[in-house]
Amino acid sequence: MFELASKSVGISASTGYIWLKRWNEEGLNGLIPKYDGGKPLKLSEEDYKRLDEILEKTPNLTADIVSDILKSEFGVVFFR
């Protein structure tokens, strides 16, 4: 029954169990996501604007091309 309830809201059963445990322990507040901020951004806002300009001018973009641009222009390496 629990698996069906989880599936009906588009989450895995394991996530459903986590949500249920949080609800039982903390009530509604337990369902509020607890983010720690994640990793720092690799590009500044200014760099994102510059990247956007470069990408708009580059025809036939592929993931490899974007990866090369990020590495050569910004020194950022994303692993795929």
Confidence of residue 18 (pLDDT cuts 50, 70, 90): very high
Q: How far is 22 from 27, CA to CA, in rounded Å?
A: 7
Write down the domain spans for the chain: 2-31, 45-74
Average pLDDT, the chain: 88
pLDDT of residue 80: 59
For the chain, give the percent of residues with pLDDT over 70. Answer: 96
At 23-53, the pLDDT tens digits run: 999 999 998 888 777 788 889 999 999 999 9
Contact predicate 67/80, CB 8 Å? yes
Contact predicate 52/43, CB 8 Å? no
pLDDT of residue 57 exceeding 70, the answer is yes
DSSP assignments along 10-35, one per residue: T--HHHHHHHHHHHHHHGGGGGS---
Place of tokens 């996501």: 33
Q: How far is 2 from 13, CA to CA, in rounded Å?
A: 7
